[in-house]
Amino acid sequence: MSTVKNYLSLIKFSHTIFAMPFAMIGFFLGLSYNPIFAFNYLSTSKSGWHTTIGMNNYYSMPLSGTAIIIKFILVLICMITARSAAMAFNRYLDRNFDAKNPRTAIREIPAGIISANSALLFTILSCILFLITCFFVNTLCLALAPVALFVILFYSYTKRFTALCHLVLGLGLSLAPIGAYLAVTGEFALLPVLFSFTVLFWVSGFDIIYALQDEDFDKSQQLHSIPAALGKARALRVSELLHLLAAACVITAGVYGHFSLSYWIGVGVFIGMLIYQHSIVKPTDLRRVNIAFMTANGIASVVFAVFVLLDIFIHH
């Protein structure tokens, strides 16, 4: 059990709370397009986002209840293995920097709890399992799987050459809602893409807040980040702009998707948590960065997803 606990800590399994709820949004949006669930809604709706994607193809192949359960499990495995690969690789690649940084020296590799080679092997096995799982999802997901792996693994290199590394992290996590939607439908649609843009801007913004802690260290090691490039005060302004864009995306998604009251309650909580985290973190006071990073964003993601899913089940 201790070994399992160590690897869960290595990959920060608790941080799954950020992207997984949005993956569930993408998955159930896809299901709402399935004839088993969506027949009444689609046959009576005169306008809606469903009409913008190829209905004829998917209507001929409705998913059975068993197939839905299997698909759901496959999506969960994809999410877990992709994220595990990304985090383990990040810890492997940054092990020397982590050892020098007092904040990160207690991490598993620099602390000697998990060896670098074991972390790399874990990364490789996670990538293989991710690709195998995508094979069983559908052809499109399998074709796009190498692209997804490239994005999430490439992120670990970006702090070495660009301050835009936060956006690459956001891009990696933004694959969750559209990826889950593609797993169900095998087709692209605008609404899940809007949720992906929400994740992109939201994650990029709060990663900048988290990176405020390492401004001095990053400069000393010639690592790149928005705080290291612009300073704490201006970095927070960039974070606020990104979160403003995230708010605009969830509002646009709500209007475009013809969502009802439940969705807008979720939007209120989500935007409220964005405002809250910026109210408690100041350039001269970083004591509550972890509250802003983990607590506020965890609440934002989970509560928003709950209300979106409630709206989908009731109205879509």
* pLDDT value, residue 62: 64
* pLDDT value, residue 61: 56
> Is 21:301 a contact under the CB 8 Å cutoff?
yes
> Is 130:149 a contact under the CB 8 Å cutoff?
yes
Radius of gyration for the chain, computed over Cα atoms and rounded to the nearest angstrom = 20
Across-strand partners of 310? none
* pLDDT value, residue 2: 86
- Token pair for residue 276? 């809250």
* pLDDT value, residue 55: 39
Measure Cα distances from 24 to 50, 143, 234, 300, 310 in Å: 18, 21, 34, 14, 12
Q: Which portions of the chain are predicted below pLDDT 50?
A: 38-47, 51-60
Write the pLDDT tens digit of every residue in 210-240.
Answer: 999 999 999 999 999 999 999 999 999 999 9
In sequence order, what are the residues at sequence separation of 6 or more whose Cβ sits closer than 8 angstroms to the Cβ of residue 182?
A: 30, 138, 140, 141, 144, 188
* Distance separating alpha carbons of residues 304 and 297, to the nearest angstrom: 10
Write the pLDDT tens digit of every residue in 152-195.
Answer: 999 999 999 999 999 999 999 999 999 999 999 999 999 999 99
Task: Give me the half-sphere count of Cα atoms (radius 13 Å) on the Cβ side of residue 151.
Answer: 18
* pLDDT value, residue 248: 98
Residue 158 sits at the vertex; the CA angle it makes with 153 and 159, to the nearest 5 degrees, is 125
State the average pLDDT for the chain: 90
* pLDDT value, residue 54: 41
Q: What phi-psi label fits residue 171: left (phi over 0), alpha (psi between -120 and 50 degrees) or beta?
A: alpha
* Distance separating alpha carbons of residues 289 and 270, to the nearest angstrom: 18
